[in-house]
Amino acid sequence: MSGKVLLEIQGLTAGIGEREILKGFDLSVRAGEVHAIMGPNGSGKSTLSKVLAGDPHYKVTSGTVRFEGKDLLTMEPEARALEGVFLAFQYPVEIPGVNNASFLRLAYNAKRRHDGKSEADPLEFDELVRERMGVVSMPETFLTRSVNHGFSGGEKKRNEIVQMAVLEPKLAILDETDSGLDIDALRIVAEGINKLRRPDNAMILITHYNRLLEYVRPDHVHILANGRIVRSGGAQLALELEKKGYDLLTAEAKG
């Protein structure tokens, strides 16, 4: 049932400054799959997401990352986005003065140009955005508000999903998209994610807890500890983790 390989990470070692956080990380993701990466604080989850998106603060010291066969690590962040890699940020930044409609249109048109298509005309685009906002029931007022400016934690996370719905990435990395959400917001976000699941795209869900995975059922679950995947399994691994806790599981993995 799985499609072609989208992402192939081998021996990835990376960190900030002199500090290595990922230490020989391997992962292979195929089209149509949802992978969950779970792990305690400091295990390297966020580093992985930032490195894949190309955050210049992070330094890769060794290893390879191929996206559809292309070397992702040599690409600028904007080139990665245009190729179809999307990061839903754990802490989306606020951009006062730039409204969501303009921001989305800029991003969408950058993608259209990259794909050799003409820019969307404003009316056509407006229609598209309104439809995609529906994925997470974003109210109309959202369009004229500044990007994430004065948004609640839940609104920021929903905004990430709206952007993902508009840009339709091939690979989406969702960095703790469930954190800080109350139960209703979690359900809305999770339903949104499910609606965007397709056989030709893939997702990596980075999370601490099983609760998001109760709504978005992953194909694979990986446990990250100390910069490496220490155990992989199916959806049931997340349940096991919840029962036993990280310490026991990682100890088992070592033993």
Partner 1 sequence: MTPKTLQDFTSQEYKYGFKTDIESVTLPKGLNEETVRSISRLKNEPEFMLEFRLRAYRHWLTLREPTWAHVEYPKIDYQDIIYYSAPKPKAADKKSMDEVDPELKKTFEKLGIPLMEQKRLAGVAVDAIFDSVSVATSYKQKLLEVGVVFCSFSEAVEKYPELVKKYIGSVVPYTDNYFAALNSAVFSDGSFVYIPKGVKSPMELSSYFRINTEGSGQFERTLIICEDGGYVSYLEGCTAPKFDTNQLHAAVVELVALDEAEIKYSTVQNWYAGDPKTGKGGIYNFVTKRGKCLGKRSKISWTQVETGSAITWKYPSCVLIGEGSTGEFYSVALTNHHQQADTGTKMIHIGRDTKSRIISKGISAGASRNSYRGAVEIKAGADNARNFTQCDSLLVGDRCSANTFPVIDALNPTAQLEHEASTSRISDDQLFYFRSRGIRTEEAMTTIVNGFCKEVFNELPGEFAVEATQLLGLKLEGSVG
| Nearer residue to partner 1 within complex by CB, 60 or 239 | 60
Q: Are 186 and 16 in contact (CB under 8 A)?
A: no
Closest approach of Cβ 161 to partner 1, in Å?
A: 14
| Nearer residue to partner 1 within complex by CB, 164 or 224 | 164
Whose structure tokens read 């920021």? 156
Dist CA 246 CA 165 (whole Å): 33
Dist CA 57 CA 176 (whole Å): 19
Give every strand in the sheet of 19-30, ordered side by side.
19-30, 5-16, 58-67, 70-71
C-alpha distances in angstroms, 241 versus 34, 93, 110, 238, 251?
18, 31, 41, 5, 12
Closest approach of Cβ 50 to partner 1, in Å?
A: 9
Please, where are the H alpha helices in the chain?
45-53, 77-83, 100-114, 122-133, 153-167, 183-196, 236-254
* 13's tokens: 């070692």
Closest approach of Cβ 150 to partner 1, in Å?
A: 13
Q: How many residues does the chain have?
A: 255
Closest approach of Cβ 166 to partner 1, in Å?
A: 9
Dist CA 3 CA 200 (whole Å): 7
Dist CA 12 CA 59 (whole Å): 11
Q: Are 10 and 63 in contact (CB under 8 A)?
A: yes
| Nearer residue to partner 1 within complex by CB, 52 or 241 | 52
| Nearer residue to partner 1 within complex by CB, 34 or 147 | 147
Closest approach of Cβ 2 to partner 1, in Å?
A: 27
Closest approach of Cβ 55 to partner 1, in Å?
A: 6
* 124's tokens: 């056509």
| Nearer residue to partner 1 within complex by CB, 173 or 186 | 173
| Nearer residue to partner 1 within complex by CB, 25 or 58 | 58
Closest approach of Cβ 155 to partner 1, in Å?
A: 16
Reduce the DSSP state of residue 63 to 3 states and report it: strand
Give me the residues that bind partner 1 (CB under 8 A), please: 53-57, 76-78, 80-82, 86-87, 89, 92-93, 95-99, 102-103, 106-107, 110-111, 114, 146, 163, 167
| Nearer residue to partner 1 within complex by CB, 48 or 230 | 48
Dist CA 137 CA 161 (whole Å): 11
